[in-house]
Amino acid sequence: MKKYRPFLALLIAITFLVHNGQAQQPLKSSQIDSLVNKTMATMPLAGLAVAVVKDGKVIHAKGYGITSVKTKEKVDENTLFAIASNSKAFTTMALALLVDDGKLRWQDKVVDYIPEFKMYDPYVTANFNIQDLLTHRSGLGLGAGDLMFFPDGGDFTIKDVLKSFQYQKPVSAFRTKYDYDNLLYIVAGEVVARVSGQSWADFVENRIMKPLGMTRSASVYQNLKDKKNTAMPHAVEKGELKQLETYTKNDASIGAAGGIYASVNDLSKWMLMHLNGGKYGEGLKSQLVSAANHREMLRPHTFLGFNSKPDPTAKVHFNAYGLGWGIADLNGYIIFSHTGGLPGMLSKTTLVPELNLGIIVLTNTDPGGFSFQTISRSIADSYLGIKVDRISQAMKTIKEMDNAGDSVTTAVWNTVKNAKADHLKLENFVGTYRDNWFGNVTITLKDGQLWFTSMRSPKLHGKMSFYKANTFAIRWDYQDMNCDAFATFSLDEEGNANGIKLKGISPNIDFSFDFQDLDLKKIAK
């Protein structure tokens, strides 16, 4: 985007925003169209939808591309997308409404509502409060326990989630370090259910979506009354779009971490409510959440980073996390945003309260040129007076990531092709292994080939090929995401395997495949 020097408004027909001595010219709808078209030309991308709200009005809401490479149906402003972790702000809003109702307090202990909740340490268990569920400062590692839900298709439930934390190993002291977490948002959803007497899914629809008029949206895929005009997920494979299966989970309770389906039209109503401090409706006469609790959600709770001499282009001095929202300063403005990601679905929501501005980008392709980021940022840049070619920046990043990932994975599979396991007795590795939170896996031998099978997450099944020493490389049958893994066996003095440690092969593996957190011990031959 271009920067413009400020000059007298009397001499021009267009109104400019002026901040920090710079003039800013917001993108018009036609320019957003051009931005999207340019983005879609950089990399295979099925479809996306964009909305911008400004000064209490929706000034742009439009769909682009297709919902499915199979049906070729067009995306429009009412097309439903999985918004993934953008759902977290709805979970914090649900809790805020219960605080407003006088049914709980932010500092209440989780065990007061869920007595079976148990963390890795008695002190942490006893002192873990409602806000600790929402602020990613539990002491657990990035994405701890996500393997229960990635890939989908497993039989884990909220009961398994509640039991899992006691077996997880912390990576930092309680409340000292930010590490993004999904499972504790699932627990937050269970708090909503136990306090309200409704499921999280029903509460969100009844207390948030219905009042705001989000008539097309649903808290989880299973609740969609009409699945027509719903975007299907896609991935890019060898330069071509590949349609994936919709991510679903039988236990709808996980929706609190990322289950919502919504359109940009519906989310515009959600964003307008936030920009109006919790007020909505005609004349802003209705109040969804109190002003005090709205402020509580949109203030820093967990510190992420600080830079006293930031990049002069964007001037980001600090990053923090609120309650379901990321917070940063950008060129002198406070920005609230969040991203969401599921297989083949990426999204971003952005709020700039000082400018009364909200931006929504929903996509159905991974990586799709990181369009959920490039378009959001480019639109925001035009209001903030920032000149950065976000598309070129993203393409450079994607290329670097792909090259780094490809070099590692190619080297691994080339090693596998030439590796010989003649010195190993493969039958010594066969058996049932157990991890306390993930359950049992089996290593079987068939026609001279080892196979890995998770008993509770059936998509984690794959052939094990000898790599080096006591390590095998697993190529999963599931290939919707890049998540192949190493399996390193520990051996007793007789050469019999008695344990397995796993880790992802690619440096680009999604953090939710937390194989490294498993501690599998042999329990049967």
Position 16 scores a pLDDT of 35
Strands (E), 300-356: 302-306, 318-321, 326-330, 333-342, 345-352
Give 279's strand partners. 287
User: What residue ranges do the domains of the chain occupy?
Assistant: 9-139+174-388, 420-524
- pLDDT tens, position by position, 484-498: 999 999 999 999 999
Secondary structure class of 272 (helix, strand, coil): helix
Is-contact 104 281, C-beta < 8 A?
no
Q: What's 493's DSSP letter? A: T
- pLDDT tens, position by position, 409-440: 999 999 999 998 888 999 999 999 999 999 99
Say yes or no: domain 420-524 is CATH 1.10.3720.10: no
Residues 6+ apart with CB under 8 A from 450: 426, 429, 430, 443, 444, 463, 464, 472
Distance CA 162, CA 183 (A): 9
pLDDT of 22 strictly over 80:
no
Position 27 scores a pLDDT of 92
Q: In terms of CATH, what superfamily is 9-139+174-388? A: DD-peptidase/beta-lactamase superfamily (3.40.710.10)
Distance CA 486, CA 501 (A): 8
Q: How large a percentage of the chain has pLDDT more than 90?
A: 82
Distance CA 255, CA 79 (A): 19
Please report where in the chains the tokens 């971490």 appear, as a residue.
257
Name the region of 153 (left: φ>0; alpha: ψ -120 to 50; beta: rest): left
Is-contact 156 118, C-beta < 8 A?
no
Strands (E), 343-417: 345-352, 357-363, 365-366
Which token pair is 29?
A: 């709808």
DSSP element (H, E) containing 258: helix 255-258
Distances in Å between the Cα of 419 and the Cα atoms of 165, 309, 422, 467, 497 are: 38, 50, 9, 6, 20
Which token pair is 207?
A: 């207390």
Distance CA 358, CA 429 (A): 55
Common-topology check for domains 9-139+174-388 and 420-524: no
Distance CA 20, CA 8 (A): 16
Q: How large a percentage of the chain has pLDDT more than 70?
A: 95
Distance CA 150, CA 509 (A): 12
HEC per residue, 157-221: CHHHHHHHHHHCCCCCCCCCCCCCCCHHHHHHHHHHHHHHCCCHHHHHHHHHHHHHCCCCCECCH
Burial class (CB in 10 A: 0-12, 13-18, 19+), 197: exposed
Q: What's 331's DSSP letter? A: T
Centre a 10 Å sphere on the Cβ of residue 52 and count the other Cβ atoms it contains: 27
Instruction: Please tell me the pTM assigned to this model.
Output: 0.93
Is-contact 299 313, C-beta < 8 A?
no
Please report which confidence band the pLDDT of residue 19 belongs to, taking 50, 70 and 90 as the band edges. Answer: very low
Chain centroid, CA 463 distance in Å = 29
- pLDDT tens, position by position, 248-267: 876 677 899 999 999 999 99
Position 250 scores a pLDDT of 63
